[in-house]
């Protein structure tokens, strides 16, 4: 699951795949399901029934079920390990604040900013809190050792522009009000989002401009109530807390980004505070 993005191509460095398989379904995800049945696949934290059949449910609820397998297990994989630039780039965030839409379409500048932030939030279960703790890990990795983080944001933006990649943000956590608890990632919904986009079936979505985060977000998708997609609907019974959570997250984003302002490229700097009123 480690890739390189050069001036001319996109490469797979590890010749393998590692993916979450919580609730993996043979009908919805036939390629991944097939890969998990083959020799050399490693399965972590899955169940086994009395007939020794694999059950894709968490054995330990604290951790995800995971499958690791050679790239050759995917029937249509290019074994050269090299491909064209990505048409779609998906950013997955864990927003336990519950205020980011389930899925949205980003500009390339916004995508670079979200990855520069590396935002996630989680509850401190050892003490009561009104809101979860907000944390940041730029690009979701601690391996950026040579340059300051804004350099990588600018580099990513240049590559996204050159590839004309479409950028999407997925909220891995069910939206809506939560109080001091953990939440299970809704992998089925995430997979359906990704599958529809990669199959050029974006027309299946109903879109609107999120009034708080100022990007196009999904508010309608067959089989899912709007309360699972649109935070404003999910929080209808607790509107004041919804406003407070949004403002708290916006303020945190702004304060964090201000640390980078002097080092950002002009294109990214111009979009830095797109979410502010």
Q: What average pLDDT does range 203-208 have in this prediction? A: 96
Q: What is the pLDDT of residue 145?
A: 66
Q: What is the pLDDT of residue 138?
A: 92
| pLDDT higher than threshold 80 for residue 15 | no
Out of 55-69, 208-222, 263-277, pick the least confident.
55-69
Out of 21-25, 58-62, 109-113, 172-176, pick the least confident.
58-62
Out of 168-172, 244-248, 270-274, pick the least confident.
270-274
Class of the domain covering 3-83: mainly beta
Beta bridge partners of 93: 171
Q: What is the pLDDT of residue 65?
A: 86
Out of 41-45, 71-75, 270-274, pick the least confident.
71-75
- pLDDT level of residue 12 (50, 70, 90 thresholds): confident
Q: In the numeric block, which tokens belong to residue 92?
A: 């997955």
Q: What is the pLDDT of residue 155?
A: 93
Domain boundaries, the chain: 3-83, 88-270
Residue 183 near residue 115 (C-beta atoms within 8 A): no
- pLDDT level of residue 150 (50, 70, 90 thresholds): very high
Considering the entire predicted model, what is its pTM? 0.84
Out of 22-26, 68-72, 110-114, 231-235, pick the least confident.
22-26
More confident: 138 or 126: 138
- pLDDT level of residue 36 (50, 70, 90 thresholds): very high
Q: What average pLDDT does range 161-174 have in this prediction? A: 95
Length of the chain: 277
Beta bridge partners of 168: 90, 105
Q: What is the pLDDT of residue 181?
A: 65
| CA dihedral sign of residues 253, 255, 256, 261 | positive
DSSP assignment of 37-88 equals: TSTT-EEES-EE-TT--EE-S-SSTTS--EEEEEGGGSTT--TTSEEPPPSE
- pLDDT level of residue 180 (50, 70, 90 thresholds): low
| CA dihedral sign of residues 226, 87, 27, 20 | negative
| pLDDT higher than threshold 90 for residue 240 | yes
What's the CATH architecture for 88-270?
Answer: Alpha-Beta Complex (3.90)
pLDDT digits (tens, 9 = 90+) for 91-137: 999 999 999 999 999 999 999 999 999 999 988 877 778 899 999 99
């Amino acid at each position: 699951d480690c890739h390189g993005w050069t001036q001319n191509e996109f490469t797979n460095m590890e010749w393998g795949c590692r993916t979450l398989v919580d609730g993996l379904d043979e009908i919805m995800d036939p390629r991944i399901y097939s890969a998990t049945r083959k020799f050399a696949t490693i399965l972590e934290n899955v169940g086994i029934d009395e007939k020794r059949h694999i059950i894709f449910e968490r054995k330990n609820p604290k951790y995800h079920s995971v499958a690791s397998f050679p790239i050759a297990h995917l029937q249509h994989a290019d074994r050269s390990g090299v491909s064209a630039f990505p048409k779609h780039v998906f950013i997955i965030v864990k927003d336990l604040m519950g205020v980011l839409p389930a899925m949205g379409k980003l500009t390339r500048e916004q995508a670079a900013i979200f990855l520069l932030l590396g935002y996630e939030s989680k509850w401190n279960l050892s003490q009561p809190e009104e809101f979860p703790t907000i944390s940041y890990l730029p690009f979701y990795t601690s391996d950026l050792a040579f340059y300051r983080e804004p350099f990588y944001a600018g580099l990513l933006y240049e590559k996204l522009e050159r590839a004309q990649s479409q950028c999407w943000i997925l909220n891995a956590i069910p939206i809506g009000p939560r109080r001091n608890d953990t939440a299970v990632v809704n992998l089925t919904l995430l997979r359906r989002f990704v599958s529809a986009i990669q199959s050029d079936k974006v027309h299946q979505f109903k879109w609107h401009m999120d009034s708080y985060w100022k990007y196009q977000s999904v508010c309608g998708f067959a089989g899912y109530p709007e309360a699972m997609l649109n935070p404003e609907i999910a929080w209808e019974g607790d509107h004041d807390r919804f406003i407070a959570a949004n403002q708290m997250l916006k303020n945190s984003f702004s304060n964090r980004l201000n640390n980078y302002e002097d080092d950002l490229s002009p294109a990214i700097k111009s979009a830095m505070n797109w979410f502010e009123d």
